[in-house]
Structure 1
Amino acid sequence: MVDLPSTLEATVPNQLSDETGVASAVAFLALTIPITIVLNLAASLAAVSAVGSDAGETLIFIAGSIATELSFLLVGIGYVLFRSSFQVPIQVPDRDAIPALIGGLGMSFATAFLSLVSTDAVLPSVELSPGFMQYTNLAAPTGVGLVIAAVLSLALIGPVEEFFFRGVIQQRLRASFSARIAIGTAGLVFAVFHVYPVLLLSPPIAAVAHMTLYYSVMGGIFGWVFERTNTFVAPALVHGVFNAVIFVVPLLT
């Protein structure tokens, strides 16, 4: 995935000296993941019920996205309040963060390009149908919905998901593990939350493996940016800008 210089091991300070045990980290994941999945599903169902199933794909996508992000925010804030010693770094990135921001964006777009190429050139041989965009639901918004989705990416999706996956989950794991393990595990958790809804569509194993690898790598890239900058604002910018560009590009073609 992403090469991590050895100097990164000391980038994030050990703020959780009372929570450094491996067992406590595993227990944290064992509780946080299922609780968040349940809240995700409940929030999504509530949103769809509120707008109506005949509201159109774009409106359902937007309402579901907002509801899902709010559930991430609820769990993240709940954990921060529960662990008074836990602090999420939220300072504005300085000039030293610029290389990480640019590198993170570059690696994100490169990963997305390789993912789409593999979908078109490799995975059809194992009957991946429908395509990657349909499985990820990125193809749902159309027209003005793409603009709204881009705005949501910058204002809500990027900030909230990076607060939860990097600011809370990765930083919690970082107190117990090395940078590589914390980034890799948080990236895998990131993938789990993007892939599990797709399982309801009964996709082929190739689709599940493809998406899991893609989102794990993307989560690793965002995690690398967080580790390099020690503020979740940095990966939030990278994540938000990346998503926004992905949504806007169809309007330019």
Structure 2
Amino acid sequence: MSDTERAADRDPDHGPGTGSDARRTERGDPPSSALVPAVGTVLSAVTAAALLVPVRRGVDEPTLQIAGALAVVATGAFLARRHALLERRRAGPIAAGASLLVVVLSGYVITQGVLGSAVLPGLGWSISLLFTAFFVAAGSVGVGVADYVGLSSRGLTRRASHMAEMFVLAFVSLFGIAFAFLFLSLPLALVVGEPTPLQETLVEYASTVVALGGVTIGYLRLRGRDRSFIDLEMPTLRTVGWLVGGVILLVGTNTALGSLLSAAGAEGAEHTTVQQVAENPNLLVVIIPAMVFIVGPFEELLYRNIIQKSLYDTFSRYGAIVVASVVFTSVHISAYSTAGANRILVSLALLFVLSLILGALYERTENLLVPALVHGCYNAAVFLIA
């Protein structure tokens, strides 16, 4: 592919294919233009309520009060846009910016151990109002951006549907790993009896290959695509440069953000594999090569080459990177499940930023080899120094 073709393909409004054509026709649809800010109004209003209820109940946290005020600002911007009191080029950035600050501030409050739990009337279920505000505000950010670019209700629905499809695909792969592990463990148990930790680890990585590889093949066939959809190119000196730079960038970003979060009093959770290594260091003999040759390549195959690249059909390139990173981060919640909610959120925030970098590496190089090896080498380095 020439540089001109690459540039055209990266342009969210002028790239080739039906995806970019669909994006152009979904923008500026006057009959449904009020629906997008209406959705934003509902989301931001729910966010404001979820933040202000704990304040009314006596939670003395200034950050929470600021977040609540910003949620009200976002609600006002969406309302003004819906009633034509403010044009979308102004309302969208105000609503999206205010909502993004709500995500950051509510996330910070959660890391300090404040959850604002409430019991749902009639159900007896306890939910965290701050987590509700965090996730709903994230949705408001997306709607604010959608309104800013003039997306119609049809375009918003199409993107939400495509995003849901990618979530389903990711969680199918997650459950697939569990089922593959059970399937592969049975013959091992029949042959050797109680497996050793080393044998279980080997089966775990074999399950990753079977599940992620199987889901990838199945999805490609379902969508009528062949192996040409997989972006693999022979390594060059340029590839090596991207690899070295990518690993350095990931390690540097993780170190800088970790220090920043520690200074803010936020502590992350340990990955379950790190806990396994702490209990049995001999597992590193399997884990280190598996990170480089299995986890990195197969996770990037699914989350970058399949999910992110598929999202190019409905989202801009940058939008696809963000959505794919949200999906990637979500399926890793179970890997930190042994810690408290506040520590899990810190770890997931770090993982999200690192996923954005991997997504950008894939988008810039259009070569799966780069994010696959950067991901694998970074993971291996983490376990070596842990």
Which band: TM-score by shorter chain? 0.7 to 0.9
Kept after mapping to 2: 8 A contact 1:51/1:60? no
- The aligned counterpart of 1:82 is 222
Kept after mapping to 1: 8 A contact 2:19/2:314? no
Find the aligned partners of 1:88 and 1:136 in 2 and give their Cα distance: 30
Instruction: Report the count of equivalent residues.
Output: 236
- The aligned counterpart of 1:3 is none
Match for residue 103 of structure 1 among 225, 245, 253: 245
2:357 corresponds to which letter in structure 1? Answer: I
- The aligned counterpart of 1:220 is 356
Match for residue 26 of structure 1 among 163, 170, 174: 163
Deviation of 1:208 after TM superposition, in Å, equals 1.8
> SS at 1:158's partner residue?
helix
Deviation of 1:244 after TM superposition, in Å, equals 2.4
Kept after mapping to 1: 8 A contact 2:307/2:324? yes
Kept after mapping to 2: 8 A contact 1:116/1:132? no
**TM-score when scaled to structure 1?**
0.77
- The aligned counterpart of 1:60 is 200
Which consecutive residues of structure 1, in runs of 5 or more, have no partner in the other structure?
1-6
Aligned-pair identity in percent equals: 22
Matched, 1:186 2:324: yes
Deviation of 1:27 after TM superposition, in Å, equals 4.7
Deviation of 1:236 after TM superposition, in Å, equals 0.8
Matched, 1:195 2:350: no
Matched, 1:163 2:312: no
Find the aligned partners of 2:200 and 2:292 in 1 and give their Cα distance: 19
Find the aligned partners of 1:15 and 1:152 in 2 and give their Cα distance: 37
- Cα root mean square deviation, aligned: 3.3
Match for residue 372 of structure 2 among 224, 236, 240: 236
Larger Rg, first or second structure (1 or 2): 2
Find the aligned partners of 2:368 and 2:276 in 1 and give their Cα distance: 28
Kept after mapping to 2: 8 A contact 1:153/1:244? yes
Deviation of 1:146 after TM superposition, in Å, equals 0.8
Kept after mapping to 2: 8 A contact 1:170/1:186? yes
Kept after mapping to 2: 8 A contact 1:8/1:179? no
Deviation of 1:222 after TM superposition, in Å, equals 1.0
Deviation of 1:161 after TM superposition, in Å, equals 0.9
> SS at 2:327's partner residue?
helix
Matched, 1:149 2:287: yes
Give the structure, 1 or 2, with the largest relative contact order (CA under 8 Å, sep 6 or more): 1
Aligned CA distance change for structure 1 residues 62 and 112 (closer, same or farther; 3 Å): farther
Deviation of 1:71 after TM superposition, in Å, equals 0.9
Which consecutive residues of structure 2, in runs of 5 or more, have no partner in the other structure?
1-5, 23-157
- The aligned counterpart of 2:180 is 43
Kept after mapping to 2: 8 A contact 1:108/1:218? yes
- The aligned counterpart of 2:127 is none
Deviation of 1:29 after TM superposition, in Å, equals 1.7
